[in-house]
Amino acid sequence: MERDSLFASRLPEWRETPEVEWRDESSLYYAGEPYGGRDTRVFAYFGLPTNGGDNTPGMVLVHGGGGTAFPQWVRMWNERGYAALAMDLSGRGPDGERLSDGGPGQGHEQKFHAMDAGLREMWTYHAVAAVVRGLSLLAAQATVDALRIGVTGISWGGYVTCMLAGIDARIAAAIPVYGCGFLHHNSCWLEEFVRLPPEHRETWIRHFDPSSHLPRAAMPMLWVNGTNDFAYPPDSYQKSYRAATGPTTLCVKVGMAHGHEPGWAPAEIGLFADQHLLGGEPLPTIGRTEVSDGWAFARYSSGRGIATAGVHYASDAGVWHERAWTSKPAEARDGVVRAALPPERPLVTYLTVEDDRGATISAEHVTAG
């Protein structure tokens, strides 16, 4: 796929260490992209693990809508043994107030409808730039291993993580939570696409929908979402993780709440990062769900014991976030997880296995017709 020149032309500069103004040892400003004809700064929190030493892995933390740079998120990763950087992507500083030299706000206008001012005035352009520059800043720290840096983001931050996965090959592991691409196919923003003139809609999809970038995402990715997410539904989510070309791991939880704290809480996120950045024990793997003669099957593999397995299903009707899901135990034995399905059809279903650390990995959902 041809590389998007909007971002590709700027990558060489963004991969240089940005100018930095330290407020103290744990917070700073760094240079952002020009906005409205003026220079900008990005506020961020930074932290190192107390037992780090040289060659410490790193994690870049990307907040979602209504969020900001979260110092507690940085501390969570520091305690796990990672250097971490969490930046604000809404033009705000440590007090939550707009910076006089901040970038665009995070409203729908800046995300979808500011195109007449130029693509480089759009929120996504500035968000991608800020995260790439933040990764460069983290990689430049003396004790950080630049080859072992991951990115994780929540909601719109997950969307940006998907963008980055196809734009910046330096990322060693990517973990989008909720956020995905194919927003023009199905998402809670369909009305925004209706409002866009056709030429603007095509331009937005080409440059700002992750579906245009994920085919270049070759690093391992963990995709975390809920079955009933109001913003990023399972159909667009599935198209997104199938579009990525690297190893894909799914963690889909029935009824998972949408928010920053629920989004950084799953144990699977840290275990996946440890697997790929610290040489930790791998998460289980599971193949695609197959349905035959009223049963659902999937092959799995795990280096640890499987504590539980489950089957999850809902009617194949209505909007995704309103569907009622049922979860029941499944049998996991000799590398195969299997469960009986109810007779109702059509039915959307998927299987899960959970290891003895409490890490749940999901198969792709399928429709039993």
Instruction: Walk along the chain (369 residues) and give the pLDDT tens digit of each residue.
Output: 456 789 999 999 999 999 999 999 999 999 999 999 999 999 999 999 998 788 999 999 999 999 999 999 999 999 999 999 999 999 999 999 999 999 999 999 999 999 999 999 999 999 999 999 999 999 999 999 999 999 999 999 999 999 999 999 999 999 999 999 999 999 999 999 999 999 999 999 999 999 999 999 999 999 999 999 999 999 999 999 999 999 999 999 999 999 999 999 999 999 999 999 999 999 999 999 999 999 999 999 999 999 999 999 999 899 999 999 999 999 999 999 999 999 999 999 999 999 999 999 999 999 998
Q: What is the pLDDT of residue 51?
A: 83
Residues 41, 39: Cα–Cα separation, whole Å: 7
Amino acid 245 reads T
Give the phi and the psi of residue 156 in degrees, each rounded to 5: -60, -30
Please, are residues 220 and 274 in contact by the beta-carbon 8 Å criterion? no
Q: How far apart are the first and last CA of the chain?
A: 34
**Can you say whether residue 55 is alpha, beta or left, with left for phi > 0 and alpha for psi between -120 and 50 degrees?**
left
Those residues whose C-beta lies under 8 Å from the C-beta of residue 72, and which sit 6 or more positions away, are none
Structure tokens at 213: 């970038």
Q: Tell which residue, 159, 357, 162, has the closest CA to residue 271.
A: 357
Those residues whose C-beta lies under 8 Å from the C-beta of residue 6, and which sit 6 or more positions away, are 119, 120, 125, 207
Strands 144-154 and 173-177: parallel
Please, are residues 313 and 227 in contact by the beta-carbon 8 Å criterion? no
The shares of helix, strand and coil residues in the chain, as percent rounded to the nearest 5, are: 30, 30, 40
Cα dihedral sign, 23-27-30-34: negative
Q: What is the pLDDT of residue 2?
A: 54
Q: Tell which residue, 91, 85, 60, 88, has the closest CA to residue 164.
A: 60
Structure tokens at 327: 């979860």
Those residues whose C-beta lies under 8 Å from the C-beta of residue 214, and which sit 6 or more positions away, are 162, 165, 166, 181, 240, 243, 244
- pTM for this prediction: 0.97
Please, are residues 335 and 301 in contact by the beta-carbon 8 Å criterion? yes
Q: Tell which residue, 235, 143, 142, has the closest CA to residue 180.
A: 235
DSSP 8-state code for residue 281: P
Cα dihedral sign, 184-190-191-192: negative
Q: Which domains, ranges and CATH numbers included, belong to the chain?
A: 5-277 (3.40.50.1820), 285-368 (2.60.40.1220)
Query: Which residue has tokens 């706000």?
Result: 105
Give the 3-state secondary structure of residue 200.
helix
Please, are residues 153 and 62 in contact by the beta-carbon 8 Å criterion? yes
